[in-house]
Amino acid sequence: MMTIGIICAMDEEIELLTQDMQSEQVQTIAGRNFYIGTLYGKQTVLVKSHIGKVAAALTASLLIDHFCVGSIIFSGTAGGIDPTLHVGDAVIGDLTCQHDFKVPGDPLFQIPVLKKSYLKSDCTLTQLAFEAVNDYILHEMLLDIPEKHLKAFHIQTPKAVIGTIASGDEFICDKEKNQWLYEHVQNIKCVEMEGAAVAQVCYEFQIPFAIIRIISDGANDDTHIDFDLFIEEAARYFTKGAIKTLLNKLS
Ligand code: SAH
């Protein structure tokens, strides 16, 4: 069994996972702590990437080239773009694109070195992630998140979907940008700041990957959710639950 690389963008999201890691060693490179050990029975390297495409790409490159992981799973939060998604729903990316990649004369979002606008995640890992996330949100998530926060976030019957995740170095919180993304990105579900960068690194190294996101906000100006509270009271449980369920499903 090859080592699995796990990346989250924020402290709160990796905290519960580091607590569950066994025979853990820590190695620090470029200011990042890489936790090496056994997580839910699988050989794993867990790391916080920090926010943004460059930070995520650097982290993924180190996982692959220095720690020799055989696959990468990213879990974090995202802003919903598909209007049928609500806070607390989950998205597993089958395609990713860099929505801030625009070169005059080239198709929208095309990455010059690859001549591709969209990169595909690993089919098997993505399907397993979808099943794992479904299991977690249907059976455990509502028990993990304290009742008063479920109410505050208006989470009732969360669902998981598969679709396109768009990434860029911008926190999206306005209606016009939201609408622009909805109209220009094929089958877009949500927007965040790391997934497509991890996808490009994995694509170039030919490593399978999956991107898992929980919707934390509507990526528009009527976002009333307290983002920090959502990370603290919902996203940290989601990340642990989704990763635990997924690792248990891997052979
Ligand atoms: N106040 C926070 C900001 C986090 S940036 C802080 O200072 O720590 C947002 C993070 O959540 C990124 O890692 C991104 O991937 C994800 N995200 C959630 N909602 C988003 C949105 N609407 N637009 C872009 N990224 C979003």
State pLDDT tens for residues 189-199.
999 999 999 99
Q: What is the pTM of this model?
A: 0.97
Instruction: Output 180 or 227, whichever has higher pLDDT.
Output: 180
- With the most atoms of ligand 1 within 8 angstroms of its CB, the residue from 89, 97, 193, 216 to mutate is 193
Cα 24 from Cα 35, distance rounded (Å): 6
Paired tokens of 33: 């702590």
Mean pLDDT in residue range 89-108 = 97
Mean pLDDT in residue range 104-113 = 97
Give every CB contact of residue 199 below 8 A, 6+ residues apart in sequence: 93, 96, 119, 121, 209, 211
- With the most atoms of ligand 1 within 8 angstroms of its CB, the residue from 172, 192, 198 to mutate is 192
Cα 211 from Cα 213, distance rounded (Å): 7
Could you give the percent of the chain with pLDDT greater than 90?
A: 94
CA nearest 66: which of 28, 37, 40, 39? Answer: 28
- What are phi and psi for residue 85, nearest 5 degrees? -95, 145
Distance 140 CA to ligand 1 centre (A): 24
- Give the pLDDT confidence of 49-68 residue by residue, as tens digits: 999 999 999 999 999 999 99
Q: How far is CA 46 from the centre of its chain?
A: 14
